[in-house]
Amino acid sequence: MRHYWTDKPPSARRVGVGETAAEYGEFRLIERISRLFAGTDRVLLGQGDDAAVLAVPDGRVVACTDMLVEGNHFRTDWSSGADVGHKAAAANLADVAAMGARATGLMVALSLTPETDVEWVVELAEGIASESDSTGAAVIGGDTTRGSQLTVAVTALGDLEGRDPVTRRGARVGDVLAYAGRLGWSSAGLAVLHRGFRSPGALVGAYRRPQPPYAAGPVAAAMGATAMIDVSDGLLSDVGHLAESSNVSIDIDASALTISDAMARAAEALGADPLQWVLAGGEDHALVATFPADVILPADWTPIGNVAEGRGVTVDGHRWQGGSGWDHFDRSGG
């Protein structure tokens, strides 16, 4: 593993108060961060060598990676270092859960600017460690380097514990669509922040620190889920991926979706449609899965739709007229 920290400072703004990464020095920073990451019995060799070694008794490893960039995925005036760490870990841990697997290891590559506040980075590492600990996964390695933009790349590894992976392509006609977790909370929180508000705290908190239902993934796999995905782009968009990959159509029953009181109040204050947040808001990392109709759903799963022949996703039998999720730059090839 190589830790670059060369001597040419790119221009970048200061992200906080206190000592900067350049003043503090790379090795001290790595040493300080490393102490935050505890091992587990899966970690056969942790940080500090060329690579880490993780036990995967199943004989298959689940792996995914996700990159967050300042200004695009987070703003340091809206989220603390700990919030960003939490969120970066959660995005990857949820991807592992969406395969029906349990996360066991995380790796973190960081690009810092010379002006990055050291305490912000330490908080980021604490956020990653804390969210990762909550799922039983360990941070097993990483890399720090310097750039002109704060960038966090997280890789998560997971174990299927003998189960088959639940992909996006197994939904069958007649299956029930269900979800676990939250829908629209993060998106509502972001809308609140965009308007310059800081409350309701539940929504802003959901944007800052999503709470994916990690345990619901392996449970769904064990109960016979036929397809699963985590809602990172928005319910319609991600259910659309399930439908397309499985070559089926999926209809969502709007009356089965919950609008929380906080969301209803925020929507009224902002003149927004809360259903739009629930249907098209991403980043809560809810899990959505299809199950055979005769499966009794686990307690944390709520049925919200049905799988039929055809293509695409409908709401109460009709195409949704709002947006379907994140505005991508160009969807022409999607």
- How many residues bind a second copy (CB under 8 A)? The answer is 92
How far is residue 167's CA from residue 186's CA, in Å, rounded to a whole number? 25
**Token pair recorded at residue 264:** 């209803």
Query: Token pair for residue 75?
Result: 């703003």
Residues 188-247 that bind a second copy (CB under 8 A): 228-230, 232-233, 245
- Residue 40 interacts with a second copy (CB under 8 A)? no
Q: Is 283 annotated as a binding residue?
A: yes
- Which of 13, 14, 25, 198 binds a second copy (CB under 8 A)? It is 25
Task: Please give the Cα distance from 181 to 91 (Å, whole number).
Answer: 14
Residue 58 or 300 having the CB closest to a second copy: 58
50 is in an annotated binding site: yes
Structure tokens at 299: 């307690």
CA angle, residues 67, 38, 181, in degrees to nearest 5: 55
Site for a second copy in 260-299 (CB under 8 A): 282
Residues 122-141 that bind a second copy (CB under 8 A): 140-141
Give the x-and-dash track for 68-87 against a second copy (CB under 8 A): xx-xxx--------------
- Whether residue 170 is annotated as binding a ligand: the answer is no
* 143-182 positions binding a second copy, by CB under 8 A: 143, 145-149, 151, 153, 155-158, 160, 165, 167-168
Shortest distance, position 255 Cβ to a second copy, whole Å:
28
Burial class (CB in 10 A: 0-12, 13-18, 19+), 328: exposed
**Annotated binding residue 131:** no
User: Of these, 33, 108, 122, 138, which contacts a second copy (CB under 8 A)?
Assistant: 108
Residue in 88, 27, 202 with CA at minimum distance from that of residue 80: 88
B/e letters for 282-302, b = 16+ CB within 10 Å, e = fewer, are bbbbbbbbbbeeebebbeebb
| Range 58-86 burial, b when 16+ CB lie within 10 A, else e | beeebebebebebeebbebebbbbbbbbb
Decide if residue 187 touches a second copy (CB under 8 A): no
Q: Which is nearer to a second copy, 151 or 260 (CB)?
A: 151
Specify binding-site residues: 50, 65-66, 73, 95, 142-143, 168, 230, 232-233, 283, 326
